[in-house]
Amino acid sequence: MLDGRGLIRRRAGARLWLSGLWLALFVLAAVLAPLISPQDPLAQDLMLERLPPAWMAGSEPGYWLGTDSLGRDVLTRIIYGAQVALAVALVAGLATCLIGSALGLVAGFYRGWADRIISRIVDIWMAFPPVLFAILLIAVLGTGLSSVILAIVIIDWTRFCRVVRAETLNQSKMDYVHSAKVAGFTRLRTLLSEILPNVLPTIVALLTLEMGIAIIVEAILSFVNLSISTDQSTWGGMIAEGRTSIHQAWWVLVFPLIALFFTVLSFAQFGEGLRERFDPVLR
């Protein structure tokens, strides 16, 4: 029989393999989109509008997931939409992680006036509804991928800050921190060499979760036409278009939703699997 640690390792391994496989496909699709896409994502042909997927009657060869109301290939647009999703996940996720984690470490370790100022800013920031705040920022900054990324960073750094601050406070009370101080470590060295490695698994889990959240936010903004140009392929834009023709061409809505759902779920599960595998407390 497996003990508790064995069960944790097995569960973490399953999460890592399954979610990692999907994320690997997601990244490869985004990077290799020009090479693997069966059609041009912007090519329109009204003679081919709303073709069903390849396994249904009335389909055409080469259009595996059917076409939309303008005759554009759904599979190709999903693949190119992965490029936008990946860019938002990486840039917005990493920037949010760096800013929020740095402030959380400072607030949780140094405390005092630094903690009071940072905590008050976080409280004020989190008083605004995030989606409405994002729409307001896009209205001010203008549409575009850079504006979407900036809006996500401005809104979501507080999530990292609060969690990392709480974890840093807990770690600061541990015996190994007091031992480091007795050994003559400076406060900065104690923070970077002793506390940060033990907080890192939490940061990694938050980072992967934030990448999924960033994709959702971009999809929401695309859905209401506040993201990038409507000519470019985005999952949110495809979902918005598919909603208007759900009864005539359900595949235009369903397949982008599936891609969005499994990508966000995989980011969350991948982070949890990494935390369970490498967290020194759980080990």
Is 49 part of any domain?
A: no
Residue 2 has pLDDT above 60, yes or no: no
pLDDT of res. 252 = 93
Is 46 part of any domain?
A: no
pLDDT of res. 32 = 94
Full domain range(s) for residue 75: 4-39+54-278
pLDDT of res. 1 = 46
Is 48 part of any domain?
A: no
Residue 117 has pLDDT above 70, yes or no: yes
The CB-based long-range contact list for 239-243 (8 Å cut-off, 24+ gap) reads 241/68, 241/69, 242/68
pLDDT of res. 280 = 56
Residue 156 has pLDDT above 80, yes or no: yes
pLDDT digits (tens, 9 = 90+) for 77-103: 999 999 999 999 999 999 999 999 999
Is 68 part of any domain?
A: yes
Is 145 part of any domain?
A: yes
Longest dimension (CA), the chain: 78
Confidence of residue 9 (pLDDT cuts 50, 70, 90): low
**Cα 208 to the chain's mean position, in Å?**
6
- Of 277 and 172, the structure prediction assigns the larger pLDDT to 172
Average pLDDT, the chain: 87
What CATH number is attached to the domain comprising 146?
Answer: 1.10.3720.10
- Of 106 and 137, the structure prediction assigns the larger pLDDT to 106
Q: Write phi, then psi, for 141 (nearest 5 degrees).
A: -80, -25
How many other CB atoms sit within 10 Å of the CB of residue 240? 18
Name 266's Cβ contacts closer than 8 Å, sequence gap at least 6.
18, 19, 20, 22, 23, 26, 212
pLDDT of res. 230 = 64
pLDDT digits (tens, 9 = 90+) for 17-67: 889 999 999 999 999 999 999 888 888 888 888 999 989 888 888 899 999
Q: What percent of the chain has pLDDT over 70?
A: 93
Is 102 part of any domain?
A: yes
Distance CA 248, CA 261 (A): 23
- Tally of domains within the chain: 1
